[in-house]
Structure 1
Amino acid sequence: MSAVPEHFTLPYLTEHGTQIALNLLAALLILLVGVWLAARLANIAQRALQRARVDATLIGFLRNLIYGVLVAVLVVMALTKAGIPSAPLVAALGTAGLAIGLALQGSLSNLAWGVLLIVFRPFRVGDYVTVGGVDGTVESISLMHTQLVLPDNREAFVPNAKIGGDAIVNFNRRGTRRFELKVGIGYKDDIGKAMHIVRQLFDADPRILKQPAPGVWTDSLGDSAVNLVLRAYTRYGDVWAAQTDFLRALKERFDAEGISLPFPQRELTVIQGGPLPGGQRPQSP
């Protein structure tokens, strides 16, 4: 009768099976305790970020990122402890990550730009901005898109990648806005008097800032008017009301002071009996 191979004997199988069971138990223990510790560490990091007054959207993202990375490391450790080689597993995870990254290239670009927008804060909720070719007030900033409320109360969801790849104009960041008006007066009107009236109206409106100082200048000599340009600064929330109220007050004051606001007109001179094009003279009736 042939001898039984050593690795098929009962003592060997018993010892080997016990070792496998212990490894599986250790792997399960690593996974359970590790997940609990990962959650605790992620929560500690979240509270630290909150104390540092980091943006709430970024806090949630970083907390989940930390937790996900720790769990992935724990899974690799647990499988290695269970006897599964780690090198093929890491290679498979890398290949899967590359495939997922290529498939979600646009979404990952939005995600990356979302993190950058939250970190560097070129605009905040409540700012009036131009982003991705869209004008509106920022309603919310998420990791994938930025929500705007347009002036006519429509909503726009602009992908963060489009925002990051284009110019960002923030109308509120500096706290003040400048408005500019162009007004034409008649050639026979007194330019100095018109400018004096404009300066009086600037001084009378408390919404117009004294610094930077407002001003009025002669801009050009048009076909039917002397064109003045008016510039003044206000707080960013007052710019529209101040501009429209100032324009109405200027019109009423010019009317009261006899300063005309001419409309475009053209003078036509008719010479009877003059030569026609080509040197011909008109025929008498």
Structure 2
Amino acid sequence: MDEMNTDVNKYMDLAIQYGAEYGIRIIGAIAIFVIGKWVAKKLSGLIKKLMERGEVDPTLSAFVASIIDILLMVVVVLAAIKNLGIDTTSFIAILGAAGLAIGLALQGTFGNIGSGVILILFRPFEVGNFIAVGGESGTVEAITLFNTTLLTPDNKVILIPNSTVAAGNITNFSKKAERRVDFVFGIGYDDDLKLAKATLQEIIDADTRILKFPESFIGVGELGDSSVNFTVRVWVKASDYWGVHFDTTEKVKLTFDAKGISIPYPQMDIHLDPTKA
């Protein structure tokens, strides 16, 4: 009986000893986790606010803040585990191996994220711009960390991976406030050249959307196979580009018809030598 009591007391002493030792460690680990989580949230929130004050794109600031929060939480969890007396070297190795495997599996995705960060930082285009990229043209609806969304003139939505956007040529038609509209109008060789040129000038001068500066240009650009071709270049606000393009083309045709100026079809004149007929 005495031996049994001795064993019970021995185990109770051990339980109290380990309970006191590991209880303090568990309480410490919980405290580290709770306080560390609070600090991580506050720090990531502070960084996000600083980036927003610096007028950094909201998408980028939210992404950077979330990455920092994740990294800080990893550090907090490792610190809490280490406080329990567990060797964290193996955990770090496992995390490193897992990170490498995930990186290799998602390298395309990370490439899109990296390209998205570059696009957001350097801003070759913005939401609302009309651009041509990756073989597609449209108005930019959204720029995320993974892809760029275009809305085509016929109302189709196109998602282009950011890696494709950043790696190719980007044509931004909306970057500048003004654009040049180029025309080529042909008249017949028998038509009055001066009258045609004066008529083109009248049409341009009558359109208030066409800017006075930079000055418009009208000149004979080519003596073609079937026509004398005028090169016409006018400057307009970017928003007026297509309106001026279509309206001027229609106006030239109607005015040329009214003044008897021909717009010839492609043709070929064949002359027969009567001595060899």
The two structures have a TM-score, normalised by structure 2, of 0.90
Distance 1:270 1:165 in 2: 58
Q: What is the SS of the residue equivalent to 2:276?
A: coil
Paired residue for 1:20? 22
Paired residue for 1:109? 111
Q: Displacement of 1:55 after TM fit?
A: 1.7
Paired residue for 2:87? 85
Amino acid corresponding to residue 189 of structure 1 in structure 2: D
Q: What is the SS of the residue equivalent to 1:126?
A: coil
Distance 2:252 2:126 in 1: 36
Distance 1:238 1:64 in 2: 42
Gaps of 5+ in 1: 1-7, 276-285
Gaps of 5+ in 2: 1-9
Contact 1:199 1:215 in 2 (8 A): no
Q: Displacement of 1:86 after TM fit?
A: 2.5
Distance 1:175 1:84 in 2: 64
Distance 2:234 2:42 in 1: 56
Distance 2:261 2:107 in 1: 63
Q: Does 2:261 align with 1:259?
A: yes
Q: What is the SS of the residue equivalent to 1:77?
A: helix
The percent of aligned pairs where both chains have the same amino acid is 38
Q: Displacement of 1:211 after TM fit?
A: 2.1
More helix by share: 2
Q: Displacement of 1:271 after TM fit?
A: 4.8
Q: Deviations over 1:60-107 (max 9, x none)?
A: 212211211111111111111111222222222111101100011111
Amino acid corresponding to residue 203 of structure 2 in structure 1: L
Contact 1:189 1:259 in 2 (8 A): yes
Paired residue for 1:131? 133
Contact 1:254 1:260 in 2 (8 A): yes
Paired residue for 1:204? 206
Distance 1:156 1:274 in 2: 64
Q: Displacement of 1:230 after TM fit?
A: 0.9
Number of residue pairs the alignment of both structures matches:
268
Q: Deviations over 1:153-197 (max 9, x none)?
A: 111111111111111111100122211111111112232332222
Q: Deviations over 1:205-247 (max 9, x none)?
A: 1111222221112111111211111111211111001111111
Matches within 5 A, 1:41-56: 41-56=43-58
Q: Displacement of 1:11 after TM fit?
A: 5.6
Paired residue for 2:158? 156
Distance 1:175 1:19 in 2: 72
Q: What is the SS of the residue equivalent to 2:140?
A: strand
Q: Displacement of 1:16 after TM fit?
A: 4.3
Distance 1:80 1:254 in 2: 88
Contact 1:132 1:158 in 2 (8 A): yes
Distance 2:201 2:80 in 1: 78
Amino acid corresponding to residue 88 of structure 1 in structure 2: S
Distance 2:193 2:25 in 1: 95
Distance 2:136 2:74 in 1: 40
Q: What is the SS of the residue equivalent to 2:82?
A: helix
Matches within 5 A, 1:27-46: 27-46=29-48
Amino acid corresponding to residue 246 of structure 1 in structure 2: T
